[in-house]
Structure 1
Amino acid sequence: MPLLTEDAKGVYVIAVTPFKEDGALDDASIDRMVDFYEEAGATGLTILGQLGEAPKLTAEESRLVARRVIDRVAGRLPIIVGVSAPGLAPMRELADGVMDMGAAGVMVAPPWTLKTDDQIYNYYASVGEALGKTPFVLQDYPLTTNVAIAAKVIDRIVRDVPTCVMLKHEDWPGLAKISALRALSDKGETRRISILCGNGGLFLPEEMARGADGAMTGFCYPEMMVGVVEACGRGDMDRAQDIFDAYLPLARYEQQQGIGLACRKYVLAKRGVIASAKQRKPGSVLSPADVADIERLLARQTRKVEEIAV
């Protein structure tokens, strides 16, 4: 599999980690999930992210999930693996292992202890040194990490760390950050890297208009993200907005703190993608009222999607 580069674009779906009811890894569901995302038009997959419940896996389980996914795609899709860790040694160990398996690159979120611009820069400079030639994605998700990374700091990292080839943009609000980074590269003042956006796709049409290259998130209907990115690529912003609008109520509901992952897994299980919506503890559980909300939103979404002939 070719390595991840600055030219990456499209939809890299953030995959959940399927578990059986007893909490064990569900290999059969992993296979079905990979097939589902590929059939939905995903450009690539990102595994072992925060909503993939990576912190709840043992080191061996992380390797088993990566091996299962990489073997299943058999080189048809690039795989990015989350390797964020408190220390650089375990990060490099997992990164080296998954790259040997055939991963295209890895993703690294900053530890919550980083507070200043210099600390953030020095951390990612150290990540670049630790990972060697492995290309990596800088995950900018301050709502979860509590680390705010200014555009000027990202630019400094991009200039000095050549293996940083992609930004996973999940700042909120963050449209100005995309504009600032693209203005710098458009003027030739810095290297242009890939920008893929998260936050459940809630701002995807606007992010694409600002210069993003696609999406990297895990909304339970990846066909929305694929449709929006493809329509934007054709310059058909009205069609992109129509597709986005049809799915927006459910995407908004799924982005709730606390029950968001439970909602995502519930819908994926309902769609037959995974056998169980089980999360490893600690995890959230949907109430009967939550389920009623989701079912109502799904029914309305089905009608809207039929109306616009997605």
Structure 2
Amino acid sequence: MNWKGVFPAVTTKFNEKDELDFELFDKNLQFQLEAGVHGIILGGTLGESSVLSLEEKGALVKFTVEKVAGKVPVILNIAEGATKDAIELARLAEEWGAEGLMMLPPMRYKTDHRETVEYFKAVANSTTLPIMIYNNPVDYKIEVTLAMFSELVVCENIQAVKESTRDLTNVTRMRNLFGDRYSILCGVDTIAMEQLVMGADGWVAGLVCAFPEETVAIYTLVKAGKLAEARSIYRWFIPLLELDIHPKLVQYIKLAEAQVGIGSEAVRPPRLTLIGEEREAILNIINTGIATRPTLPDYKSIVID
């Protein structure tokens, strides 16, 4: 697994019957691939993992693997409460054709240091799939500390971290302690360029779901050292990227996907689509961004070492 580049945490598309909408999902997927993304992550926060059945997760993985056809790796998120359930989902992910896992700490119960480390080790030791740990204590209440990462180095397939602590210094701390042992991918859209400049290897992105070209362009330009060009796009993008750090990020980003024609607003209850003043306010941000969308350089021709 090459944990570098832009990895969209794609949304799950639903139709009017609250069933998986594979046709619309594929439309968005093809836009991601055409933009040049480097991997696809299924069943994350944006993918509404907590309300997907096991059968739906399997169907999504199999469909995505078929449509991606080896162009980029397909990664499944694991967000379970019981260790045995996480181990079983890791086994199924491999069976379904996934090429990697993204893993949150245990859900619901707030594990301590020893419990968190043993949870990750148990799952890692049960599978051959490479793993990216999703470190998001702001939303999920358990921090995977540097001391924990020190213990997890013995698991060779724990290879990366989705760094969502909001602490920019963690990129440097991880590098100082572990060198290149762990790949570091930014998991918060609003600090992505900053983390990339400080040495992060990639970006697990949210607004990429609606704006894939702009997202990949920023990553490519930063890695090519073209910081002024990247900064110009990033400054335009920031009001949109801020939609990623709200509790209703799923509704906000799905509305953006609908506005650019590669998604719909449909969410699965208990989430509800936006209404009234809130919807109008978010639409104003999205439509202002669309109206002022920058002309991108030919980022696809840039070769990154």
TM-score by length of 2: 0.90
Shift of 1:13: 0.3
Shift of 1:78: 0.6
Asked if the contact 1:254/1:264 (under 8 Å) is kept, the reply is yes
Report matched runs for 1:232-271 at 5 Å.
Answer: 232-257=222-247, 259-271=248-260
CA offset digits 1:76-96 (Å, max 9, x no partner): 111111122222333233322
Shift of 1:308: 7.0
Shift of 1:303: 4.7
Partner of 1:153: 148
Shift of 1:266: 1.1
Query: How far apart, CA to CA, are the structure 1 residues paired with 2:244 and 2:116?
Result: 30
Partner of 1:35: 30
Instruction: Kindly indicate whether residue 272 of structure 2 is the aligned counterpart of residue 279 of structure 1.
Output: no
> 3-state DSSP class of the match of 1:165?
strand
> 3-state DSSP class of the match of 2:122?
helix
Partner of 1:119: 115
Letter in 1 for 2:118: N
Query: How far apart, CA to CA, are the structure 2 residues paired with 1:295 and 1:281?
Result: 21
Partner of 1:300: 288
CA offset digits 1:133-177 (Å, max 9, x no partner): 2211111011221002222222321x22111011011112x2111
Report matched runs for 1:74-89 at 5 Å.
Answer: 74-89=69-84
> 3-state DSSP class of the match of 1:46?
strand
> 3-state DSSP class of the match of 1:294?
helix
Which of 5, 12, 27 is the aligned partner of 2:7?
12
Shift of 1:71: 0.8
CA offset digits 1:22-62 (Å, max 9, x no partner): 21111111211211111122111000112201111111111
Instruction: Kindly indicate whether residue 43 of structure 2 is the aligned counterpart of residue 53 of structure 1.
Output: no
Change (3 A) 1:96 1:123: closer
Asked if the contact 1:138/1:167 (under 8 Å) is kept, the reply is yes
> 3-state DSSP class of the match of 2:262?
coil
Instruction: Kindly indicate whether residue 161 of structure 2 is the aligned counterpart of residue 167 of structure 1.
Output: yes
> 3-state DSSP class of the match of 2:205?
coil
Which of 174, 180, 203 is the aligned partner of 2:173?
180
Asked if the contact 2:214/2:296 (under 8 Å) is kept, the reply is no
Shift of 1:214: 1.2
Shift of 1:196: 1.0
Letter in 2 for 1:300: T
Report matched runs for 1:82-121 at 5 Å.
Answer: 82-111=77-106, 112-121=108-117
Which of 192, 202, 206 is the aligned partner of 1:218?
206
Query: How far apart, CA to CA, are the structure 2 residues paired with 1:253 and 1:117?
Result: 32
Partner of 1:72: 67
Letter in 2 for 1:122: E
Query: How far apart, CA to CA, are the structure 2 residues paired with 1:32 and 1:301?
Result: 22
Moved more, 87-96 or 18-27: 87-96
Query: How far apart, CA to CA, are the structure 1 residues paired with 2:103 and 2:93?
Result: 14
Q: Which runs of 5+ in 2 are unaligned?
A: 299-305
Q: Which runs of 5+ in 1 are unaligned?
A: none
Partner of 2:303: none
Which of 182, 185, 203 is the aligned partner of 1:196?
185
Query: How far apart, CA to CA, are the structure 2 residues paired with 1:178 and 1:204?
Result: 11
> 3-state DSSP class of the match of 2:294?
helix
Percent identical residues: 24
The number of equivalent residue pairs is: 295
Partner of 1:128: 124
